[in-house]
Chain A
Amino acid sequence: MTTTRALGSTTGVEITFILIGLLTFGAAVLTVTVRNLVHAALWLVVALGGLAGCYLLLAAEFVAWVQVLIYVGAVAVLLLFGLMLTRAPIGRTTELDSGNRWAAAVVGLATAGVLVSVIGDAVRTTWFDPRQAVVNGTAKAVGTSLFRYWVLPFELLSVLLLAALVGAIVLSRRDVSDDVDAAEGTPRAQATEAEA
């Protein structure tokens, strides 16, 4: 964990991390500042893809591909569909930000200060060698760990996903029972009137 390596020497992994980190950071900043809703969603896709790159650099291969599949694939498409379904203004809008920009900036700077100082204080002296104690998060290794130690949470999560699926269907469909009642009720009422 703590080896005596020169701080000045950079490896290819570090250079790649700096590039990907800058890309992710810039894309995240653009996501919250850009004035076009669809562009914000697309910059979010770039940021999530950059995070997948970070996972690859951290030898978490399985998590990286799951990130690409779930976030870059599914969640981005869902968010874009949501923007279209709610008739979001396509193009630049000034209505996008609320008025509490300064309060938000103060809260954000305070959060950043606290987090960065705490992390800097905690891991300032930690150094780990890239070739020492690497766990390769391949699909095989993660799957073994998942089904050996985490079976119960895994099964619970599948039930949660099913519940979320059913909940989304129930929430997003129109009220069918009213239509059925209205459609069935009218001829029956007419029939009883005719009998009378």
Chain B
Amino acid sequence: MNPDNYLFLSALLFTIGAFGVLIRRNAIVVFMCVELMLNAVNLTLVTFSRMHGDLTGQVIAFFTMVVAAAEVVVGLAIIVSVFRTRRSASVDDANLLKY
């Protein structure tokens, strides 16, 4: 059982998530790609926990999940309120800081 396969999978998932953040235009889909990157990091933590025979990695992965859940809640509320004022969920339209 080789640990690097899990690490390779997690690296690829992180890359796919980064690619999606760069190309997608809808803010919620960008959010989904950020979730994918967070999950890739969680997989790395759990793999290291398995490699070293230590539970700390799993506990930190659990903490990451809780923080990510809080981030989803606040982020979606921000996106919905931006949609309410700008009538659009596109990240290209949220340009208020430019003026």
Contact = CB atoms under 8 A, between A and B. Distances in A.
Decide if A and B are genuine partners.
yes
24 contacts: A28-B17, A31-B32, A32-B33, A40-B29, A60-B61, A70-B65, A70-B66, A75-B69, A79-B31, A79-B32, A104-B22, A108-B22, A115-B11, A116-B12, A130-B1, A134-B53, A135-B58, A142-B55, A142-B58, A142-B62, A145-B56, A146-B59, A161-B66, A167-B74
A74 interface: yes
Given A97-B23, A171-B74, A17 B5 contact: yes
Given A86-B83, A142-B62, A98 B89 contact: no
Interface string A66-85: 11001100110011011101
A13 B62 CA distance: 23
A32 B19 contact: yes
Interface magnitude class on chain B: 35 or more
A135 B18 CA distance: 32
Contacts, number: 246
Contact of B62 (A14, A58, A63, A163): A63
Interface magnitude class on chain A: 35 or more
Interface of B: 1-9, 11-20, 22-29, 31-33, 35-36, 39, 42-43, 46-47, 49-51, 53-56, 58-59, 61-63, 65-74, 76-81, 83, 89-90, 92
B92 to A, nearest CB: 7
Interface of A: 1, 11, 13-14, 17-18, 21, 24-25, 28-29, 31-32, 37, 40-41, 44, 47-48, 51, 54-55, 58-60, 62-63, 66-67, 70-71, 74-75, 78-79, 81-83, 85-88, 95-98, 100-101, 103-105, 107-108, 111-112, 115-116, 119-120, 123-124, 126-130, 133-135, 137, 141-142, 145-146, 149-150, 153-154, 157, 160-161, 163-165, 167-168, 171-172
